[in-house]
């Protein structure tokens, strides 16, 4: 499983590779599409519909959303409802706490998908 090595305001390191913001699904890490988020919402402080769909892939035990250092990224009600209907346990946490929980769960061999917003 992918290990999150470090999170700092504005960046995150997954298995030694630095990202601005990250989506880890089915043990594959990818950079969040900040330009697409900006075009659709005018900010990266939202969860895109494609990200919600990705988080559902692979029937995870847990879906974690790191909503930033101060919780500024909003998880829209529609997205949250869709995630909750999946049967996975949904955790929306400040990003440093989300990273710690993710690493703890994967150490227990749990299947976890995660989205991490690394700023506010």
Q: Which two tokens stand for residue 54?
A: 């990705």
What pLDDT shows up at residue 53? Answer: 97
Task: List the domain range (segments joined by +) for residue 12.
Answer: 4-117
85, 86, 90, 96: CA torsion to nearest 10: -140
Angle between the 49-56 and 77-84 helix axes, to the nearest 10 degrees? Answer: 10
Average pLDDT over residues 31-43: 93
Query: What are the start-end ranges of the E strands in the chain?
Result: 4-8, 11-14, 17-19, 22-25, 28-31, 62-67, 89-93, 112-117
Q: For residues 3 and 44, what is the distance between their CA atoms, to the nearest angstrom? A: 23
What pLDDT shows up at residue 52? Answer: 97
What pTM was estimated for this model as a whole?
A: 0.96
* CATH code of the domain in which 100 resides: 3.40.1230.10
Q: Give CA separation, 75 vs 13, 36, 81, in Å.
A: 23, 17, 10
What pLDDT shows up at residue 93? Answer: 98
- pLDDT above 90 (res 1): no
What pLDDT shows up at residue 115? Answer: 98
Phi-psi region of 57 (alpha: psi -120 to 50; beta: other; left: phi over 0): beta
Half-sphere exposure of 51 (CA within 13 A, CB side): 30
Q: How many domains does the chain have?
A: 1
């Amino acid at each position: 499983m992918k290990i999150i090595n470090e999170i700092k305001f504005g960046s995150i390191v997954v298995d030694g590779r630095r990202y601005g913001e990250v989506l880890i699904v089915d043990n594959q890490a990818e950079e969040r599409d900040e330009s697409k988020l900006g075009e659709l919402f005018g900010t990266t402080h939202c969860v895109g519909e494609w990200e919600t769909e990705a988080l559902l892939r692979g029937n995870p035990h847990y879906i974690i959303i790191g909503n930033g250092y101060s919780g500024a990224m909003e998880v829209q009600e529609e997205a949250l409802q869709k995630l909750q209907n999946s049967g996975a346990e949904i955790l929306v946490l400040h990003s440093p706490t989300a990273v710690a929980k993710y690493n703890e769960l994967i150490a227990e061999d749990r299947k976890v998908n995660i989205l991490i917003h690394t700023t506010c």
